[in-house]
Amino acid sequence: MFPFKVPEKFRIIAHRGASAYAPENTMAAFKLAMETGAEEVELDVQLSSDGIPFICHDAVLSRYGHENVILEETCSEKLLSLDMGSWFSPYQFKGERMIKLSELFDEFRNTFTYHIEIKGSAPALIRETLRTIQSAKLMDNCIFTSFKKDALSEFKSLVPSAKRGWLVAEQTDEILSICGELGLFQICPKLEKLTPEHVEKAQRAGLESRVWGISTNPVKAKEDIQYALSCDCDGMTINWPDWLTHG
C-alpha cells in the first residue's frame, strides 16, 4: 500500500532533507521535510577553512555547479555566496545557498531528530560540530554517524553519552563485535547487501538497524523500501519522506 505504513517507532529520516523535491542539504529541503511531516532528518557536515561547520555532502562542489571548489579550503563568506539551488532547478531554487549547521538549529530547534554524518576530514570538525550543538542545547536531538571508526571513537571520548551509528557497506559479525566495543547505538548497513538475518543479529546485540542506500530512482526506490521493511529494520534514510507514514 502506498504510502507505506510503518510502525510508530520506525525512523523515517529525510535524506539531506526532502531531497527528492528540493536541492539536498539546503534550507528549502529541510523546510519541505518538515512540511511533509518528517520528524527526523539526515545531513552531512564539513568544516570551512575558517572553522565553521557547514551542511554539504560533496567535498568538491563541482556537482553543484562550482567547478573545483573544495569546501574545506574555502572560507565561510565565500561558501555563503554560492548558488546551491540552480543545479537542481534553475527556475525554482536559483539562489538557494549553503547553510551553516548553526542556521539549521536556529530555524528548527528541537523540531527534528538530527542524524549528523561526519563527512569532512578537517581535524577540528568533530569538536566544532559538538561546540555548535552544545551551544544550541540540542545534544539530545542528535545521532552522529560516520563510515570512519576513528570518528565514532572520538565522539565517545568527547561526549561519552552521544548516540552514534556506524555506516557500513556490509554488516559482518566482526563489525557487530566492534559496535559493541564502541558502545554504539546504531549500525547503518547499506540496503544492497542487507538480509533479515543481519537485522535480527543487530537487534539481538542491542543495536538499531538503520538502513541507507535507498535508490534515487522512484520506481526502484519503492522496491527498495518494500524490501527494507520486509527485513524489519528500525529505520531508513529516504529522499521522499512523505512516502512513509506511521500507523
Name all domains of the chain by residue range, CATH numbers in brackets: 4-246 (3.20.20.190)
For residue 167, the 8-state DSSP code is: E
Checking if the pLDDT of 187 tops 90, the result is: yes
Average pLDDT over residues 4-12: 97
Average pLDDT over residues 124-150: 98
Distance CA 28, CA 121 (A): 26
At 96-130, the pLDDT tens digits run 999 999 999 999 999 999 999 999 899 999 999 99
Confidence of residue 138 (pLDDT cuts 50, 70, 90): very high
Average pLDDT over residues 16-41: 98
Checking if the pLDDT of 245 tops 70, the result is: yes
Residue 124, classed as helix, strand or coil, is coil
Task: Please give the C-alpha separations between residue 98 and each of 11, 49, 141, 201, in angstroms, as whole numbers.
Answer: 26, 15, 22, 39
Distance CA 45, CA 116 (A): 7
Task: Give per-residue burial for 18-27: e unless 16+ CB within 10 Å, then b.
Answer: bbbbbbbbbb
By percentage, how much of the chain surpasses pLDDT 70? Answer: 100
At 189-236, the pLDDT tens digits run 999 999 999 999 999 999 999 999 999 999 999 999 999 999 999 999
Burial class (CB in 10 A: 0-12, 13-18, 19+), 1: exposed
Checking if the pLDDT of 155 tops 70, the result is: yes
Task: Please give the C-alpha separations between residue 128 and each of 5, 39, 106, 124, 221, in angstroms, as whole numbers.
Answer: 38, 25, 16, 6, 35
C-alpha cell at 65: 555547479
List alpha helices for the chain, DSSP H: 27-35, 76-81, 101-108, 125-136, 149-158, 173-182, 196-204, 218-230
Q: In this predicted structure, what is the pLDDT of residue 2? A: 73
Checking if the pLDDT of 158 tops 90, the result is: yes
Distance CA 126, CA 211 (A): 23
Distance CA 156, CA 179 (A): 12
At 57-104, the pLDDT tens digits run 999 999 999 999 999 999 999 999 999 999 999 999 999 999 999 999
The helix or strand, by DSSP H or E, that contains position 114, with its residue range, turns out to be strand 113-118
Estimate the crossing angle of helix 101-108 against helix 27-35, to 10 degrees.
30
Task: Please give the C-alpha separations between residue 101 and each of 131, 175, 209, 240, 244, in angstroms, as whole numbers.
Answer: 11, 30, 26, 22, 26
> For all residues of the chain together, what is the average pLDDT?
98
Average pLDDT over residues 158-176: 98
Confidence of residue 1 (pLDDT cuts 50, 70, 90): low
**Rg (alpha carbons) of the chain, rounded to whole number:** 17
Average pLDDT over residues 1-29: 96
By percentage, how much of the chain surpasses pLDDT 90? Answer: 98
The whole model's pTM is what? 0.98
